[in-house]
Amino acid sequence: MLNTIGFLGCGNMGGAIARAVCKAADPQNVWLANRTAAKAEALAAELGCNTTINDEVAGRCDLIFLAVKPQMMEELLAPLRFTLAERPSRFVLCSMAAGLSIARIQEMAGGDCPVIRIMPNTPASVGAGMIQYCTSNVTAEEEAEFLKLMAPAGRLDAVPEGLIDAASCVSGCGPAWVYQFIEALADGGVACGLPRAKAQEYAAQMVLGSAKLVLESGQHPGALKDAVCSPGGSTIQGVRVLEKKGLRGAVMDAVIASYNKTKEMGKG
């Protein structure tokens, strides 16, 4: 049973997942630890949960989120190996570190412990995340409990571990590129005379609605694009310019570049 939940790290992603978990679990059963204690204390005050130290989380919590950057994982886990090894009760580690395999997490933690590997994204902080996950040595009951705890964060999808890096480079890295696109759309609106705040609102809502239509209609994005492009109209002229400038090729290259970097980080 995953009754007590601990977070080792309370940065942007750890904080986003903690906010979601505290909607599904009693915040009094959630414990936060962070290298900078003040950050954990501020988040605990916001959510109504508790703060502690890394060793206490490692020794007591049933589900332990490892919410640090890949290059910091070994430094985090090395001092906790003895505590984890001496635990009389079962526990599950949950890593959100890009590029680090389950086997590598188990190696760092010092044993063949149960691990859930997730690739969340920042929209999880508003309940609209896309989170892929894979597991090792986790029971069906534990997986079901985990999915209930994570449900307030957004959509979850089980994938083979061999695909999780590619998945993370679409939905994990993707928000940064979407924000660039929204900013560029707003800049274009401002250039055409719209007030900045209005241009940004229109661009963001348009992206939100377009994504919702893709998910709910089940139609191919190309078909939805065609439906907006009237013969001889203004939209197709914009499409022509984006094709000329290589939008699709640039986006594909961005995903591939991120994927290659993720694989490189996993070798460290």
Which residues does the annotation place in the binding site for NADPH?
Answer: 54
Number of H helices, E strands in the chain: 13, 8
- Across the chain, the runs of DSSP E, i.e. the strands, are 5-8, 30-33, 50-51, 63-66, 92-95, 115-119, 129-136, 154-158
How many Cβ atoms from other residues are within 10 Å of residue 261's Cβ?
A: 15
CA torsion through residues 10, 16, 17, 19, sign: positive
Q: How, if at all, do strands 30-33 and 5-8 pair? A: parallel
User: Which residues define the annotated binding site?
Assistant: 8-13, 54, 67-70
SS (H, E, C) 141-201: HHHHHHHHHHHHHEEEEECCHHHHHHHHHHHHCHHHHHHHHHHHHHHHHHHCCCCHHHHHH
User: Which residues define the annotated binding site for NADP(+)?
Assistant: 8-13, 67-70
Nearest-CA neighbor of 204 among 173, 224, 221, 183? 183
CA gap 57, 156 in Å, rounded: 25
Nearest-CA neighbor of 66 among 113, 28, 26? 113
CA gap 69, 82 in Å, rounded: 22
How many Cβ atoms from other residues are within 10 Å of residue 75's Cβ?
A: 11
